[in-house]
Amino acid sequence: MAELDSLRIEVLGRSACIIQRKTRSYLARKSFVLVRQSAIQIQTACRGQLARQVYECMRREASSLMIQRDLRMYLARKAYKELHSSAVSIQTGMRGMAVRIELRFRRQTRAAIIIQEPQSATPVKKFGTESDSKFRRSLAERQHESVDALISCVTMNIGFNHGKPVAAFTIYKCLLHWKSFEAERTSVFDRLIQMIGSAIEVTRYT
């Protein structure tokens, strides 16, 4: 009887050890599965957050590039419009001055013809009149040719020198040399003088 009890106790002890071992294995496996699932979820969340940050940086960079492109287009368009408006104003003023000089030349030619009409004048006076008429005519023709040259200088694309328009400086220096500002003062030329004069002053100080 005692042997049976001891055998039963031994069997129960072995069974208890097996049950404990299986229980520990199950709990360890369950804990490992939970830890692995948690790690996978954390990794997924981190990858998602990193991907969102990268996408946001790319989106901001693309928006910045678009803003810079639009700003450059706006500034270039504004500069072109200002340059075009200035060129049109200069061309209008030069054409107006050319018309006035042409009208003055015709009046001088007509006056010279009227002066030459009387036949009773002495040869000396007639020679002096013809000489004065030729001088005035040549002077008006030279002035007319100079105006044509200035107009072609405005209409042609001469370019820039150190960032400054060559045509505008040429026109300003020629007109200043001819003293034509006092005789041909209009609102257009006042604007032309102010614009080109300020450009030259900036060039002198820079």
Q: Which residues pair with 165 in a beta bridge?
A: 160
According to the model, what pLDDT value does residue 166 have?
63
According to the model, what pLDDT value does residue 123 have?
46
According to the model, what pLDDT value does residue 110 have?
81
What does the alpha-carbon distance between residue 125 and residue 123 come to, in Å, rounded to a whole number?
6
Rounded mean pLDDT of 35-51? 95
Q: Which residues pair with 38 in a beta bridge?
A: none
Rounded mean pLDDT of 148-163? 58
CB 186 within 8 A of CB 93: yes
pLDDT-derived band at 173, boundaries 50, 70, 90: low
Q: Give the pLDDT confidence of 96-129 residue by residue, as tens digits.
A: 888 888 888 888 888 777 776 654 444 444 445 5
According to the model, what pLDDT value does residue 14 have?
87
CB 144 within 8 A of CB 109: no
According to the model, what pLDDT value does residue 132 have?
59
3-state helix, strand, coil in the chain (%, to 5): 85, 0, 10
What does the alpha-carbon distance between residue 183 and residue 102 come to, in Å, rounded to a whole number?
14
Q: What dihedral angle (degrees, nearest 10) is formed by the CA atoms of 36, 38, 39, 40? A: 90
The structure tokens 């009208």 sit at 103
Percent of the chain past pLDDT 70, that is, above it, reads 55
Q: What 3-state class would DSSP assign to 88?
A: helix
Residues contacting residue 13 through CB under 8 Å, at least 6 positions apart: none
Res 33 pLDDT > 60: yes
What does the alpha-carbon distance between residue 62 and residue 30 come to, in Å, rounded to a whole number?
48
Hey, what amino acid is at 193? I
Q: Give the pLDDT confidence of 56-87 residue by residue, as tens digits.
A: 999 999 999 999 999 999 999 999 999 888 88
Rounded mean pLDDT of 7-21? 86
